[in-house]
Chains A and B, each alone.
Chain A
Amino acid sequence: MPHDHSDHPHALLPPEPALRVKALETILTRKGLIDPAALDEIIDTYQNKIGPQNGARVVAKAWSDPAFKAALLEDATPVVAELGYYGRQGEHMVVVENTPEQHNMVVCTLCSCYPWPLLGIPPGWYKSDAYRARAVREPRRVLAEFGVTLAEDTAVRVWDSTAEIRYLVLPMRPEGTEGLGEEDLAALVTRDSMIGTGLPKEAS
C-alpha cells in the first residue's frame, strides 16, 4: 500500500469518476442548486435509516395482524405509506405471499424497480445481469446458492419488478414464533427473505 506512507508527496488522487462527481458537485453548489451539507444528510439517511428494517416491520405486522395482512395483500402502497414508508420508489407496491405451495422470488436489473422505502438501496448482486438471467432460467439452483432448499412440491414463481409494479415478498412466519411480539418477529425478517432469495431466521 504505497499510498499509506505519510511521506507521500501529495494527496491520494481519487478515481476518474470520483473527480467527475466532484466537478458536478462544485458546479451545482456554485449555482446554488445543491447544498453540500444536504448531501451528507441524504447519504446518512440511506445508509442508516432507510433499509430492510422498514420492510421487516411491515412483514412482522402482517404476521401479527390478519386485517393488516389482508389490506396489505389487497393494495400495499397506501397501507405501507400509512406506516411512514413512502417516497422515492415507494409507489406501486405489490406484496406476494409465500405459502407451502408457492415460493416467490423477485428479479429486476433496471434501476427503478426496487422498493427503496422498504428495503433501502439494492445490493450489487440484485442489480447484476447474472442474477436476473439465472433466476428466471434456474430459480431453484439460484436459491440453493443462497442456501435455500424448498420442498419438492413447492412451486417457485419469479416476479419481474418494474417501475410500474414493485414486488415485496411476504415470507412465511417461522414455526415456534407464536409467543413473539412484532418487534421480535421483525428481527427474524431478513432483506433476502423479502426478495425471496432467503427465508426468515429461525426463532432462537
Chain B
Amino acid sequence: MSNCITATAPEPVFLEPWHAQVFAVTVALNEAGRFDWPDWADRFSNTLKRNGLNKELDGGDDYFHAWLETLEALLAEQGDAGQDEVTLLQGAWEKAYLTTPHGKPVRLP
C-alpha cells in the first residue's frame, strides 16, 4: 500500500518528538494505574474546551500543548510531580543542553 505511486507521503503520527514523548508518558502512567483513561480524557477535553474559547485550535501543536498542560495539572494535583519540581528540573535540563558540547549526549549532572 505504501509503495503505491499515487499515495501521498504518509503523515507522521507525531509532528514533534516532544508530542510523542508526552503522549507516551501519559499512556505509561495510565498503564501503571496512576489514573484511568476516561478520567484523563475528561480532563483533557476540558483543557481543549477552555483553550478553544479564545482562539481557533489547529489540532497540531495546540493539541499537544493542551495535552501537556493537562498532564502537568493532573500530576501536580496527585502529588506525583509538583510545579516547583518541574520548573527546577526544566531549568536543569536547559542548563545541561546549553553546557553540553554539540554532538555529545545531554545528561543531567
Q: List 30 A-B contacts (CB under 8 A).
A: A10-B100, A13-B94, A13-B97, A14-B18, A17-B65, A18-B21, A19-B93, A24-B75, A27-B85, A27-B89, A33-B29, A33-B80, A34-B32, A42-B27, A89-B41, A111-B41, A111-B44, A112-B41, A112-B44, A121-B13, A124-B59, A124-B63, A125-B59, A127-B57, A128-B56, A129-B58, A130-B56, A131-B59, A163-B38, A201-B4
Q: Which of A9, A26, A123 lies in contact with B108, CB distance below 8 A?
A: A26
Chain A-chain B contacts (Cβ-Cβ < 8 Å), number: 185
A-B contact sample (4 more), CB < 8 A, given A42-B28, A124-B60, A129-B58: A12-B97, A28-B75, A47-B20, A124-B63
On chain B, the residues within 8 Å of A26 by CB distance are 89, 93, 108
On chain A, the residues within 8 Å of B60 by CB distance are 124, 127-128
Give the bracket for the number of chain B residues in contact with chain A.
Answer: 35 or more
Q: Which of B15, B52, B58, B80 lies in contact with A31, CB distance below 8 A?
A: B80
Interface residues of A (CB under 8 A from B): 6-15, 17-28, 31, 33-35, 38-40, 42-43, 46-47, 51, 53, 88-89, 109-112, 120-121, 123-131, 163, 187, 201
A27 & B45 in contact (Cβ 8 Å cutoff): no
Bound CA span A109–B64, Å: 13
B1-38: CB near A (< 8 Å → 1, else 0) gives: 10010100001011111101111110111111010011
B59 & A126 in contact (Cβ 8 Å cutoff): yes
Q: Distance (Å) between the CB of B21 and the closest chain A CB?
A: 5
B38-78: CB near A (< 8 Å → 1, else 0) gives: 10011011001100100011111001110110011001000
On chain A, the residues within 8 Å of B98 by CB distance are 10-11, 13
On chain A, the residues within 8 Å of B65 by CB distance are 17
Q: Distance (Å) between the CB of A147 and the closest chain B CB?
A: 11
Bound CA span A25–B28, Å: 11
